[in-house]
Amino acid sequence: MSTKKKESKQIALYSLIIMGVGFIATIPFQGTFWVDLLQGGFEAGLVGGLADWFAVTALFRHPLGLPIPHTALLPNNRDRITNALVNTIKRDWLSKESIQEKVQNIPFTDKLIPLLSRQLQTELTQKAIIKLIKRAIESIDIVSIVPIVKKQLVLTLSDIEVNKILKYLSSQLLNEHVDKKALDYVLEKAEIWLSHPQTKYKLGNISMNVLNNIEVDGFLQFAVKSLQNILNEEKLGSIIKNLLLSGINSLKHEEDPNRKALVQYIQNELIGISENQKLVDMIENWRKDALENWEPDQKITEILTTIQKKILDFIDDKAFIDTYLFPIINQSLDYLKEKRSYIDQWVQNQITLFVEKNHSQIGDLVQENLDKLSNKELIDMVENNLGKDLQWIRVNGAVCGFIIGLFLTGIHALLRLI
């Protein structure tokens, strides 16, 4: 019991003692007006204080332990009082309608957003956010993600249409003039090869073997034999070499008709590469075999682990908060401000539905907590919380009785004089 409650009980007790002592002390001095007046006041104060003491005590227990009718009102009427309290809370103080009406008038976003903005400026909140983000990233199980990534890669690579890739490739090659560059490259390599000293001997040797293996009759046979007698491998190779070099030099000129024909042929081949079904099927088979035998698990694990570490290092950088995190959060808060009416309405609807479904539990909770208390605990709780006011009722009874006693005794004395 608190000091204030003890003091109020002592004041009530002192008031009764004062009234009782005053009444007894004035008995030997009866007969004078002022003594009789004080005695009447003390007597009435004593009666009023005792009456109020009886009334207050009767609320909680039997006065002096005597089973007087209509006393101990709280324990004797506990069920009726608690039921009335529960019904009052449910129907009046915390009715569904009153709760819902109150909720409808609460601007949740207007209250929440400024609070979030202030909290985000504190170092403690910033550290907590960073720690939460890092913990979320660290909790990612890379090993369990690898099969998912692998499966998605395989599906993505399997869905790629080869003919579209080839068409795109041919388009890019034509845009980059690869047809002309390829021809020039071949001509350059051929010219380098022909410029080599041994090339004419190789060409002569090949040509002589061809001539020796030619089977012709009549005049053509005579002509071939005559040519073989006139030319040796070196001379024949030099002739062929010079012819080839002359042809290469002609093909290097943009306006040469043979060059244009070759370039056009290469272009046609590049354009039709995506329609070459044999090539498409061959690439499809290569892709299928490659994907079936592909084991990228270790590489994917290494890549994901590296990415995870780089993200964690990036988050530890002080610039992360100001440069990346705050702009994202501020954009989110601005979005919430723009949608405040929808958000408030959604929150209000959710609370309304929650209250609608669980309103009966308010009374049940109050009833449950009251049922847990014994009569003694319930009386102590009420008496301790209302103790000060109850004790002042007793004091007021004694004081008011004393004043009324003085007034009545005075009137009685005046009437006797009359």
Dump the DSSP string for 85-121. HHHHIIIIIT-HHHHHHHHHT--HHHHHHHHHHHHHT
The DSSP-derived string for 148-178 is HHHHHHHHHHHHS-HHHHHHHHHHHHHHTTH
Nearest-angstrom CA–CA distance, 177 and 173: 6
Nearest-angstrom CA–CA distance, 400 and 50: 12
Tell me, what's the pLDDT at 302? Answer: 92
For residue 173, report the phi and psi dihedrals to the nearest 5 degrees: -65, -40
Summarised one tens digit per residue, pLDDT across range 239-274 is 888 888 888 889 888 888 888 998 898 888 888 887
Nearest in space to 46 (alpha carbons), one of 68, 70, 14: 14
Cβ–Cβ under 8 Å, residues 5 and 388: yes
Summarised one tens digit per residue, pLDDT across range 63-90 is 656 666 656 656 666 667 676 666 666 6
Nearest-angstrom CA–CA distance, 242 and 202: 14
Residue 21 identity (one-letter amino acid): V
Q: What ranges do the domains of the chain cover? A: 3-76+373-417, 166-275
Cβ–Cβ under 8 Å, residues 279 and 162: no
Tell me, what's the pLDDT at 1? Answer: 47
Tell me, what's the pLDDT at 301? Answer: 92
Nearest in space to 204 (alpha carbons), one of 228, 235, 237: 237
Helix (H, G, I), strand (E, B) or coil at 195: coil
Nearest-angstrom CA–CA distance, 147 and 141: 12
CA distances, 65 to each of 54, 60, 195, 387 (Å): 12, 11, 135, 20
Q: Cα 156 vs. chain centroid, distance in angstroms? A: 30
Residue 170 identity (one-letter amino acid): S
Q: How many CA atoms lie within 13 A of 227 on its CB side?
A: 17
For residue 382, report the phi and psi dihedrals to the nearest 5 degrees: -65, -45
Structure tokens at 89: 């809370």
Q: Which residues contact 70 (CB under 8 A, 6 or more apart)?
A: 58
Cβ–Cβ under 8 Å, residues 42 and 26: yes
Q: Is the dihedral of CA 6, 12, 18, 23 positive or negative?
A: negative
Tell me, what's the pLDDT at 277? Answer: 85
Q: pLDDT tens, position by position, for the chain (418 residues)?
A: 445 455 556 666 667 677 777 777 777 777 777 777 777 777 776 677 666 666 666 566 666 566 666 566 566 666 676 766 666 666 655 566 666 677 777 787 888 888 888 887 888 888 888 899 989 999 989 989 999 999 898 888 888 888 888 888 888 888 888 888 888 899 899 888 888 888 888 877 887 776 666 665 555 565 656 665 666 677 777 888 888 888 888 988 888 888 899 889 888 888 888 788 888 888 888 888 888 888 888 999 999 999 999 998 888 887 888 888 888 888 888 888 888 888 888 888 887 777 767 666 666 666 666 666 666 666 666 656 555 555 655 566 556 666 766 676 677 667 666 6
Residue 7 identity (one-letter amino acid): E
Q: Which residues contact 388 (CB under 8 A, 6 or more apart)?
A: 4, 5, 8
Task: Give Dmax (Cα) for the chain.
Answer: 188
Q: Which residues contact 408 (CB under 8 A, 6 or more apart)?
A: 40, 44
SS (H, E, C) 112-128: HHHHHHHHHCCHHHHHH
Cβ–Cβ under 8 Å, residues 240 and 203: yes
Nearest in space to 35 (alpha carbons), one of 398, 401, 397, 409: 409
DSSP state of 276: -
Cβ–Cβ under 8 Å, residues 211 and 227: yes
Tell me, what's the pLDDT at 320? Answer: 83
Tell me, what's the pLDDT at 303? Answer: 92
Q: How many CA atoms lie within 13 A of 195 on its CB side?
A: 8
Tell me, what's the pLDDT at 215? Answer: 61
Q: At what angle do helices 277-292 and 162-175 cross, to 10 degrees?
A: 120
